[in-house]
Amino acid sequence: MGANLKDKVAIVTGASRGLGREYAKALAAAGAQVIAADIKDCAETVEEITSAEHSAIGIELDVRDQESCRNMANTAVSHFGKIDILVNNAALYGSLGTGRFDTLDDKDWDDCMDVNVNGIWRCSKAVINSMRENKSGSIINISSLAALAGLPYALHYSTSKAAVIGMTRAMARELGKDWIRVNAVGPGPINTPMLSDPTEGNPEQFGGMVPMQRIGTPKEISDAVLWLFSPQSSYVTGHTLMIDGGFCAQ
């Protein structure tokens, strides 16, 4: 059964490309009114959604700045009247320097934590009053296989994504009494433009490391996200769903 999100209002951060764009498109196709938010231009994401006769607007968002996060939430409420869904997807990875943990640059470490961890905290703070007023809401924080498997030479990223899981559990415990659910998704190797970038390796190489012997598709991730926002998962909160072809089960 497909998710029916008619009349729901959804914010997706980091929505200008990759999985963020896929989440935004999937939510819109399920009937949600979508706010695509990113520090980069979301015009292409919005165009793909509206050309399919679904509803979306784009907004500039810097998750490092609380005022920018508040503006995102205020824009959603002024346009659509409420906020039902938040996908905390914005994150740093490809732009970070890598290396042995004791050689990592201090600025890369701080930037990674500020976006990947503090950004989720700031965006969640910005939307929570609307969700509390509605006595309903659902937040999904995007973690990674790095949180459980650990990525060598990327301690900052692995640490930030492990923190996302801890935040998810604590937020779920706090917000259950407000009828707000908080879950996380941990994607494994997924066929996105970043994975196909020659500087990042190649899909075949990653697929050989997965028990299912292939990389995942964006639809397999977005379908799981839709399920976590649907009534079918109404008793699920504080959970991290690893969608990784068994990578972290090894």
Residue 93 is among the residues annotated as catalytic for this protein? no
Chain position carrying tokens 């079918």: 232
Maximum distance among all Cα pairs of the chain, rounded to whole angstroms: 51
- Contacts of residue 160, Cβ cutoff 8 Å, sequence gap at least 6: 91, 112, 113, 116, 117
Number of other residues whose CB lies within 10 A of the CB of residue 18: 17
Strands annotated E in 118-157:
137-142
- Name residue 139's beta-bridge partners: 86, 182
User: Is the Cα torsion angle 171, 176, 179, 181 positive or negative in sign?
Assistant: positive
Q: Catalytic residue among 23, 93, 157, 235, which?
A: 157
> Which residues are tagged catalytic?
157
